[in-house]
Structure 1
Amino acid sequence: MPGLVLEQMLSPTLSSHCADCAAHLQVQYVALRNINLIIQKRPSILANEVKVFFCKYNDPIYVKLEKLEIMIKLASEKNIDQVLLEFKEYAQEVDVDFVRKAVRAIGRCAVILERAAEKCINVLLELIQTKVNYVVQEAIIVIKDIFRRYPNQYESIIATLCENLESLDEPEAKASMIWIIGEYAERIDNADELLESFLETFPEETSIVQLQLLTATVKLFLKRPNELAQRVISLVLSCATTETDNPDLRDRAYIYWRLLSTDPEAAKDVVLCEKPVITDDSSNLDPLLLHKLLGQISTLASVYHKLCGYTFEEDSQPQGPGLEHSPSGHAISPSDGGVSAAAPTASTTAAASPAMMGDLLDMSDGIPPAGTAPPGKQAGDVDDLLGGLDIASGAPAAPASAPPPLPILMQDPSRGVTIGGQLERHAGGLAYHISIVNSGAVPLSGFMIQTNKNSFGIAPANQVLDLGVVPPGGSSHTHCPLTYDAAKLVPGPANAELQVAIKTDQVGVLFIKDVVRLEGLLEESGAIDGASFLAAWKALPAEKQQRLTGLLVQDLEWAKAKLHTANLFVLAHRPVPSTPQQALYLTGRVAGPGGAQIMLELRLVPGQPGIDASFKSEKADLAQMAFAAVQAVLSVQEICDVGVTV
């Protein structure tokens, strides 16, 4: 029955007079995208209906590619023969891109289904025999992945692959073939000659081919250290270290050279070590994201495979399912993390604007000091930049104020739960301050917390939340200590998004999105001395600048105290020459594996709105988070209360 319904839904009409054919194809694509989500969670639902997703000759390419993905996910030992027969037909069509995808699909099936791997390889060999250039090259690429998945099992086909060396002209195919030769150098009689043939064009090759050729020649030398292998490795190492501008290639060559010249046995342990088995999860979504998307089936989220509430609505008032709203109607999204304190909205100042800190560092015509310059030196000397300034000595007294209530992160009336939370400093460490309001009919208990991978490696020190039992109509809050876990760290530019899962015994798992507040990550011991500040500022690349609007500072001492409470330490302040502005120099240290020393210059006129901020750090990607931190610390904002007085 499911198959019949699917066939009726996915089969386009063949009538050329159908006025709504294009609309039908769009509906078909939407259905396929939703099915793709469902079978990632429950593949058994359509395990016997793979034929429904076979491509038709008049399917548009976007429908074909989606069907291809679904067929890969539904492939099993029972239906693999049917699926491979289809893929083989697709690999002989005229659309080059679709043909490549079909060949890759065969390889992915081999990686996923161990018992069907031999059948997949036989189909790939048949395709190689067609001698169609792009088919042969794509087949070699996927066979390399099969070798990585099943080492030392299918080496008998290497001879067939080597017959097609001259037809390889694409970088990925060349790199794959070179990897195969290097990996099985001891079983290929003329491996040294084959690798030598690639050396003629080594300087002109792309980096992926050069890197693979370098590693393959090292493997060859370690496995078969004959005279030709020695000559090949010498040529490659010499070229890679002296004739290339690619730092990755050059550094790897130096490492190999040092290993081979000092300890060949250590080189074997490094280069010829056992490699982890690969898997095919390239098209599978993160489980946390998949769970949320399945709750948004029939919305745009299930078509784009992105959360609508956090992706498609930014400037306008969000509408539609899946969006959380505060009692005032404000949509909570990662852009504000549930905090109504506005993030900086002004765009970054153009690169042509004058460097703010540089105005003070590089002036040689005398700077009016805040005090008198020492004898024998002029007030404008760089060494005395901080000498006559009002250096912050000790911690200024923080202005007395009650801590604000927590921002709303999630409100689910259907389950009677409202969650507020915020990452902050607590008891000298990092903690997640979280509150629960129970508007349901049953008590809530058994609270647990977990974080997804993030840019700062933040994870709960204890997954159990000490919230006790929250009765109907009641609320509770606690500080969950956080730690830094390398396994949770996502490499790359800093991303402030933090995904959190809260579990209760009564309502199950609740997923929330928050933002990492930089002021919560700053260490209490993050201050540095003036000399270190100046040296670091001069050594780092050009600063990032931004105009922070909506800020009005009447009292500099108040501003210093507020910044100090957020562990942004005011090193010094001074008047800016020939302007009514005052300059504050701030420093702080971000804790954890994604941390770094940050430095800020703030220029402002007391009593006038707006602050010109300039940022430098070895991690320049923290700039926007630093600007947001200053904006939040120096703003007086109303924050949505979740019913918990902290």
Structure 2
Amino acid sequence: MSSGGGDAKLFARGKVAELRTELNSGGKKDKNHAAKKIALKKIVANMTMSNNDMVALFPDIVGCMQIPSLEIKKMCFLFLVNYARMKPDVAVKALPTLQEDMNDSNPLVRALALRTMSYIHVRDFVEATVPPTKQLLRDADPYVRKTAAFCVAKLYDHDRHLVEGSDLIDRLNSMLRDDNPTVVASALASLMDIWERNGSNSPDCSEWGQTYILEALMSYVPQESSEALLLAERISPRLSHSNSAVVLTCIRVVLYLMNYINDQKQISALCRKLSPPLVTLLAKGPEVQYLALRNALLILQRRPEVLRNDIRVFFCKYNDPIYVKVTKLELIFMLANERNIQEVLTELREYATEIDVHFVRKSVRAIGKLAIKIEPAARQCINTLLELVATKVTYIVQEATVVIRNIFRKYPNQYESIIGTLCENLDSLDEPEAKAAMIWVIGQYASRIENSDVLLEDFLYSFADEPVEVQLALLTATVKLFIQRPTKGQELVPKVLKWATEDTDNPDLRDRGYMYWRLLSSDMATAKAIVMGEKPPITAESEKLDPATLEEMCLNVGTLATVYLKPVQQVFRSARPRRLTDSPALQKQHLPNGDLDAQKSLSAFGNSQPIVKANGQGDLAAAVDAADAFFAGVGHQMASMNLNGQDEGFGGSPTVGRGEMQYVVNQNAPEQVYQPAGGQGSNGDLLMFN
């Protein structure tokens, strides 16, 4: 009952005599029983305020129960449930009315009467509830059957021997074949509650039987928040079970039920209960550890508070298998924050000196990602990376180069002082990704590196033999060099563009070469705005699962699908995808949002955009037609370029194409352009590297 608005005046301590007078007023003129409703509201309000004087009104309330008004019956039944144990001799007089209401034509009245009887822990009521419960378990209305199913569990709470001596449990089992899924779920929930209360049944039910029961609870859709909370509390003892399958299945059910609980304090309490069992699973064998860790990755994305204070338990042990170490590394990254970053960096620094090359690379990459994730700790992360680069270990230097490139993208114009250290280790770079990263740095900061043209030329000696990834990076870096320092780049640009457009058979490289040629032939200002323009910033959130996948994966915690971190249908073709079922209790506002921008991968940032019409709609056909028209004459445009050696750039008038060879733009090719905003630093100094 709301205490705000017009009902606030009801919450005043009333006298029994006055309330009795109001309750009996109205007479025949009050056809809608408005006076009685107001009086009953005052009585319920006083009852809420623990005014036990209201029990004196019991006979008057029993008399009001016969009024054919659902609203009045609800308040009368609430009074009856609250005071029946204080005045059992008076409460018994309400039994005939309740039994009569259980034959009412309105299913809401039938269900309300049965629910009221089952809530009263008085011997006469408990015994009198059994026959109508049997009758209403077969009621034509599914809502009544659902209520009757829950009443069996309530009766079991009052008198287990009475229920066991009847056939109510057998009837509940037969309801598992009901046509209505809500009734089936209610019957299952009731049976589960009975099983939880029956201590003698627990040893008899095997651990796999418990798993099946918990799994079946996933089909139950709570209609009220209290239902979900009650069920979550009932099954929470299974979190301490010795069998990992029971524990993980119980975690899955609790996570599912949290979506239907509206009390954030209760959710936080349940989250605290989920942490110890997950940590306990880490003491088992490596295979179980791996399963628990993979599921922890999912749980942290959906409920970060579950393991928020347990980062140390995920620190790697010397004898952990590599697959366990790598997964722990991912969890350490997810749990790292400003408070524990120093401890985390110290741990990662140790990992980066281990023997396993794959694990070392992952550790170095994690340090770089932490610099992007936690901005106040970026300098600490960079210093740690520089310490690792100083070891001169080839694979460490190469991995550090890759992550430093991403740090530059996140924080443009902030940490350029470390470029010198990177350039001192150019001879250590022999992997495509590391080369491409270093080439990006040289091209992006060509205006600050005095000998940037010499450094690029060293890479260009092996242009024809390099992988496409490196060739694309060289092409873009050369164009950047020319845009920032035309005099230094005027000799390299035509040579690289010629290689990219004439001497390669890769369509992506050739198309990009044509694009740059056309761009540089038209307008240098436009070229600079496009090539050196500000790009969307990268974030550490980009590797999270999209909301729809995360929702499905959380409903499959403990299954094989969570090991692969893929939707269940991608692992098992015949499996049925799971989704949260809507109900009045579903907390939609707390579900993962569908912000697609937050889910993009790092490689997606900087991608070229499709041609857009004036009305905002992309037109792929127009893009292809424009590309065909341009590439048909691109050979003659190349011949018309005029290099003049001026710092203002170069230009040329493209001629009308007469060539017969046509090309189609590869619209799906990844555009690996990583540059942040260009421009010199605040001191305007140029860095000289020999």
Length-normalised TM-score, structure 2:
0.44
Instruction: Please give the TM-score of this superposition, normalised by the length of structure 1.
Output: 0.47
- Structure number, greater radius of gyration: 2
Name the structure where strand makes up a greater proportion of residues: 1
